[in-house]
Each structure stands twice: as C-alpha cells, then as structure tokens.
Amino acid sequence: MEKTKTQNKELTSEEQKAEINFKTDWQYAASPESTDHIQLKKKYDLFINGKFVAPAKPKYFDSINPSTEEKIAEVAEADEADVNKAVKAARDAYKGKWSKISASERAKYMFRIARIIQEKARELAVIETMDGGKPIRESRDIDIPLAAAHFFYYAGWADKLNYAVPGKTPKPLGVAGQIIPWNFPLLMAAWKIAPALATGNTVVLKPAETTSLTALKLAEIIQEADLPPGVVNIVTGAGKTGSLIVNHPGVDKIAFTGSTDIGKLIQKSLAGTHKKYTLELGGKAANIIFEDASIDQAVEGIVNGIFFNQGHVCCAGSRLFVQESVFEIVMRKLKDRIATLVVGNPLDKNTDIGAINSKAQLDKISEYHSIGLKEGAECYQPACEVPSKGYWFRPTVFWNVSQASRIVQEEIFGPVLTVQTFRTIQEVVEKANNTPYGLSGGIWTDKGSKIFKVSGELKAGVVWANTFNKFDPTSPFGGYKESGIGREGGLHGLMPYLQY
C-alpha cells in the first residue's frame, strides 16, 4: 500500500524520523486477511417479507470502504412506501405466525441463526472490516462472536419468559422498529433483533447508511434459517428512513442506538404515543487510575478503552483521571505504548487502529483536535505513517486540560484521550460525574474497597474495575442522564419488549 508521512507538530523532524525508524525496525511483516472467500452482490435491495425487493422509487446509494474510499456495493434507499410495506409485513407475520407458534419453536429459529453466523464468521468479519474500517482483529474476535452469542443467549430465554417476570404472564408488544449506528454494525443488529424475537415480537430494522452490508448478509442468513417471512425486515437508508420508522403508527416499540441529538429528537416525536422506547446514546466515560493500581495493566486498559475501534465506542474511556502522585509515570508509559500502535490497513491482522468510519466523522474528530489545541491543551500524537487514501486519525492524547474544556465535556467519538489529575476520591468522583453523560466508567486500583466505594458513586450504567470495554450478552447495558433510557442485554434487555 502506498504510504505518506503525516506531519507532527509536536516532534522535530529528527525525532519523527527516529520514531518511524524505530517502528519500522520492529514492525511485523504485513499479514492481510484474504478477501477471496467473501460473497457480496453489487447491488442490494430491501429485505421485506422474507425476500429482497427493489425499493418503490429506484434510489440507491453507495457503501464505501473507508480505508480505500472505494465503492463496495450499492444499497437501496427505503422511502415511505417501502417502510409501510415492511411494517405491514412485520404486522402480518406477528399476527399470523410469530405470536402463535410455541416459544421453543421460536428458539429453534434463533439457535439456527446463531449457528449460521458462526459458520460464516470469517466472511462476516471481513465484510464488517471492509465496510466500516475497524481492524479485522476486532471484528473477528469481538463483533462477530458476540453477535452469535446474543442469538444463543436470547434463544435460551424464549421459553422461560415466565421466569423472567415471575407471577405474571408476559406478552409481546407487536412490531419493533430498530435503528442502529455504524460502530458495531452486525453486533448492534444482533443486540436488537435477538431479544425482540425471543419475546415474540417482529422487527423492522434499519442499519446505518455507512455500514449496511453485514445487516444485509444477516438477511441472507435469516432466509437460510427459514425464519417465517416478515418476522425480520431490514430496510436500508439514512436519517429520513429512520424517522419514517420512528413515526409509523404501526410500530409498537422503538429501540435506537446513536447520537444524543437524534435520540432527543426521537424521544420528542414519541411523547404522547403508545410506543415504548429504549435509547442508547452518547458517552464520555471516566477511566480512573489510583496510585495503588498496577500501572502497566492500567495503561494497557486505558489504551484499549479509547483506541479500540478508533474510539467509535459510546462507552469509550475518553477521559482519563490519574492520581497526581503517579501522573508522570502514567504519562510516560502511555506515550511509549501509543508510539507502538499500528495504524493502517484494517484487514491486516497486526493493525491496532483502523480507518475512521466516514469523512464526516473524520472532519468532526479533526475539528475537536483543533479545538483542543486552541484551548491551550498539550497534545501528543505519535509520528506514524498512514495510507494516502482513506480516512485516518492518529491516536491522540491531550493533557493540561480544564474541566470546562470542550474536549473534556463533549463526545468526540474518535481516538482522542484527555488526561486530568486528582488528589482525593471525592475530587475524582465529582469530576467524573461532571458531564451530561453517564454510560460507563473504569477504575484501576489494588483495593477492592475502593472499587466498591467509587463504583457506587459514579453515575454511570456500567463501571469496569481493572479492565475496560468487556461485553457479555448476560450483562445489562445502558446509561444515566443524556446517555439514554432503558437497558439492553441480559434479563433486563427482555423487559422493553414485553407487556406484563
């Protein structure tokens, strides 16, 4: 791949050269995952009532590979007539079939879907990486296995709903409209579809416009699993298609994951309707290192917490709080570690940081970078090479930032970390909670008692201790404040799909 050097404002050219030489001396040989085995159509229609059908108006948009800017496929844009058709198919399937068959029968289909996802794991991982830009290591080891795990887990609940809500007779709601983002495309689809099917609901799902392909591959898997037509419908398109689903009177529940701005818009339009909803929105997680932490382990976790998936993670540990006495050593180790991160071809198994998902997202991250510099923060970016085509942003750390800095307060959704210091538990809890968000947090310490005290005081839905960004289908996930409403995952994730 052709490479160009990026300029680094903080290092002299001699220092840059030394760093790049050091890295190239120690780099592994390229190890790209092959793309020979994947099957992609040139053009994808809408998946409605068990079939791929052309949109009423012949409108299609391109899905590109953000690491090469090459077009991968064309995807249909669903308009009002198409959304109406999908909702009707979902309603008919709900009434005619899905709410009538036994719960264990529902589970059988779900187990089938889970197994086919496992069988096609390699293909799905490669497509996820090509369409979204995330490193193959992550799509292979995290996204796809977890997507299968969600179907397995919720399949197990299908015939045990009476135990989930003891003493009551839980019933499905009907048709669920589900809108998902681009950061974990297949995983978010599984995260939404699996609990809906287990509880006897039918689905109209819209993937994000930059990453529709694995949802469409999932549609093929659903066909292969012989799921009754109309139980899952997948309509592609952008915000307009999403709002048509949200505002459709035939939808009984909305599940949305995405930006806080759109979440607020959706909440307003649902107010006063019969629709139930869950919103999983932004975050600005605090990752807190106490002086008694194992520093090397913590630094590895901090790096994973913010640079994992290019920081395109709502629960990313984007604010680091370091106890003052260990600030120097943490910063040194953090910079040393960041200098070794491999940025580049997401299909290469050695890559740590892949491509930014879209040009728009890259522009947003770059703007925050300039805001940080203008606000007077100190900044470190390693001098690494990035490919000449595609959307890239080097891992970035800001320190000497104030609590009021915009880069500390606002969600950047990119590989950008801010570092602040603290002296006491009370101080760090106040600073960590001083944000409009409350999705997740992390604590690094040797003392169990400190973990219990601090995690109890953090206003965050998920708090990891001596680890970060760990997911499991059995654990509920969701936020406080502007991070959203409701929980997904685990037993709690069944409730928003049931009336009882």
Region near ligand NAI per CB under 6 A, out of 66-74, 165-173, 258-266, 447-455: 258-266
Determine, following the binding rule CB under 5 A, whether residue 210 of this chain makes contact with Mg ion. Answer: yes
Q: Binding ligand NAI by CB under 6 A: which of 246, 347, 353, 362? A: 246
What order of strands is seen across the sheet that includes strand 70-76? 43-44, 70-76, 60-65
Q: Binding ligand NAI by CB under 6 A: which of 142, 208, 302, 377? A: 208
CA distance 371 to 369: 5
365, 410 Cβ separation under 8 angstroms: no
Q: Lay out the site mask for ligand NAI across 162-201 (x = CB under 6 A, - = otherwise).
A: -----------------xxxxx------------------
- List of E strands, 272-412: 276-280, 286-289, 319-323, 378-380, 385-387, 396-399
Q: At closest approach, how far in Å is the CB of 484 from Mg ion? A: 25
Per CB under 6 A, contacts with ligand NAI among 273-292 are: 281-282
Angle at which helices 121-132 and 103-119 pack, to 10 degrees?
Answer: 70
The catalytic residue among 138, 314, 411, 488 is 314
Q: Lay out the site mask for ligand NAI across 305-344 (x = CB under 6 A, - = otherwise).
A: ---------x------------------------------
Q: Which two tokens stand for residue 392?
A: 């890239």
The CA–CA distances, whole Å, from 33 to 28, 122, 123, 477, 495 equal 14, 10, 10, 32, 40
**Which listed option, ligand NAI, Mg ion, none, makes contact with residue 259 (CB within 5 to 8 Å by class)?**
ligand NAI
Q: Which two tokens stand for residue 319?
A: 């604010």
Determine, following the binding rule CB under 6 A, whether residue 93 of this chain makes contact with ligand NAI. Answer: no
Closest CA to 432 of 423, 441, 419: 441
Residues in the chain: 500
Q: Binding ligand NAI by CB under 6 A: which of 33, 45, 131, 209? A: 209
Per CB under 6 A, contacts with ligand NAI among 215-244 are: 238-239, 242-243
Determine, following the binding rule CB under 6 A, whether residue 413 of this chain makes contact with ligand NAI. Answer: yes
86, 46 Cβ separation under 8 angstroms: yes
Is 314 a residue of the active site? yes
The catalytic residue among 128, 138, 280, 488 is 280
Q: Which CB, 64 or 295, lies closer to ligand NAI?
A: 64
Phi, psi of 426 (to 5 degrees): -60, -40
Is 384 a residue of the active site? no
CA distance 283 to 315: 6
Question: Which residues of the chain form contacts with Mg ion (CB under 5 A)?
Answer: 63, 131, 210
Could you give the residue numbers annotated as active site? 280, 314
Question: Which residues of the chain form contacts with ligand NAI (CB under 6 A)?
Answer: 179-183, 206, 208-209, 238-239, 242-243, 246, 257-259, 262, 265-266, 281-282, 314, 361, 364, 411, 413
